[in-house]
């Protein structure tokens, strides 16, 4: 059992929708306490109606992301000791999405953009056929592997200032997904995915300053993925030939 510190923690938590306000709670400061532990303590001891999301508590599901002292983070893997300032911590929903209630935001627009970016996999083979063989050491597969472990947490989307001023922008997570598909030899609609990722609101809007990359909790670089899409789309625009775009991808060093 964790030792209980004599000190307490002052926790400001957003309540309500976009027009809500902060409320402050005092909770015991404990050893090895995560931000999600603090939110759970407030919900169990002070505010039973407090709305927030979590599922796995171990950094797999991506559902617990919130803004902590102004920074988007996965709260189940964020220790209070690393982020509290003078015994205080401020917790809000992620930015760039409407606030539904307290710490929960409406993620429908975020996931809709995955579809708009062509993020749905369509196999080249049916279930009766043997699965396509992909060389795990090929440059394309290595590029995919560097971007594939996304947990859909929307931390990058919250960190992206282009998303905040351009609601059409597909954002880092959706475009990172598109990058994995245009490099996936088993995906039958690579041309379509590339076209969708290049459209208005697509990869050309990224300013490549890397806020998404700095905050991604699992170490993915959407910035690098989007840069790859830009290179591929430029060649595609010049030659209008997907085989040539593929050839460019083959010459790229993996991220
Ligand atoms: S690098 Fe691009 S996607 Fe990432 S935060 Fe900046 S503008 Fe957004
Ligand atoms: S790219 Fe990283 S920050 Fe963005 S949704 Fe995926 S895991 Fe989260
Ligand atoms: S609760 Fe699943 S990643 Fe945090």
Q: Which atom, in ligand 3's list, is nearest to the CA of 64?
A: 4
Four-residue CA torsion sign, 218, 65, 155, 35: negative
pLDDT of residue 77 exceeding 70, the answer is yes
36 CA to centre of ligand 3 in angstroms: 9
Pocket test for ligand 3, best of 39, 54, 154, 218 (most atoms within 8 A of CB): 54
**Of the residues 56, 71, 105, the one at which a domain ends:** 105
Ligand at shortest distance from the CA of 176: 2
User: What CATH number is given to the structural domain containing 74?
Assistant: 3.10.20.30
Cβ–Cβ under 8 Å, residues 15 and 42: no
Label residue 226 by pLDDT band (50, 70, 90).
very high
State whether 236 and 155 are in the same domain.
yes
Judged on CB neighbours under 10 Å (0-12, 13-18, 19+), 201 is buried
What integer pLDDT is reported at residue 1 of this predicted model?
A: 42
Mean pLDDT of the chain: 92
What is the reported pLDDT for 240?
66
What is d(CA 92, CA 221) in angstroms, rounded to the nearest whole number?
A: 24
Q: Whose CA is nearest to atom 1 of ligand 3?
A: 57
Report the nearest atom of ligand 1 relative to the CA of 159.
Answer: 5
Q: Mean pLDDT throughout 209-225? A: 98
Do 86 and 125 lie in a common domain?
A: no
Percentage of residues of the chain with pLDDT beyond 90: 87
CB of 175 within 8 A of CB of 222? Answer: yes
Residue 250 is predicted with a pLDDT of: 61
My answer on whether 112 and 101 are in the same domain is no
> What is the total residue count of the chain?
255
- Over 70: is that where the pLDDT of 243 sits? no
Instruction: Please report, rounded to a whole number, the percentage of residues in the chain having pLDDT higher than 70.
Output: 91
Per-residue CA distances from 135 to 104, 138, 139, 142, 205 (Å): 41, 5, 9, 9, 33
**What does the block give as tokens for 209?**
């300053």
100 and 154 housed in the same domain: no
Q: In terms of residue numbers, what domain contains 65?
A: 4-105
């Amino acid at each position: 059992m964790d030792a209980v510190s004599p000190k307490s923690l002052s926790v400001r938590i957003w309540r309500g929708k976009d027009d809500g306000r902060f409320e402050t709670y005092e909770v015991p400061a404990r050893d090895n306490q995560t931000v999600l532990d603090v939110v759970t303590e407030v919900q169990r001891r002070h505010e039973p109606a407090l709305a927030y999301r979590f599922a796995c508590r171990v950094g797999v599901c991506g559902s617990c992301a919130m803004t902590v002292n102004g920074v988007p983070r996965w709260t189940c893997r964020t220790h209070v000791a690393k982020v509290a300032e003078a015994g205080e911590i401020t917790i809000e929903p992620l930015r760039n999405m409407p606030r539904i209630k307290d710490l929960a935001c409406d993620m429908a627009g975020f996931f809709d953009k995955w579809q708009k970016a062509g993020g749905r996999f369509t196999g080249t083979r049916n279930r009766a056929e043997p699965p396509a063989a992909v060389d795990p050491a090929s440059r394309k597969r290595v590029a995919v592997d560097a971007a594939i472990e996304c947990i859909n947490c929307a931390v990058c989307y919250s960190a992206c200032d282009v998303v905040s001023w351009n609601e059409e922008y597909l954002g880092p997570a959706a475009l990172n997904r598109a990058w994995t598909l245009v490099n996936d030899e088993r995906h039958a609609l690579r041309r379509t995915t590339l076209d969708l990722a290049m459209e208005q609101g697509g990869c050309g809007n990224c300013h490549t300053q890397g806020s998404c990359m700095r905050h991604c909790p699992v170490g993915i670089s959407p910035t690098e993925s989007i840069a790859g899409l830009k290179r591929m789309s430029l060649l595609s625009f010049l030659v209008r030939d997907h085989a040539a775009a593929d050839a460019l991808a083959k010459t790229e060093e993996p991220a």
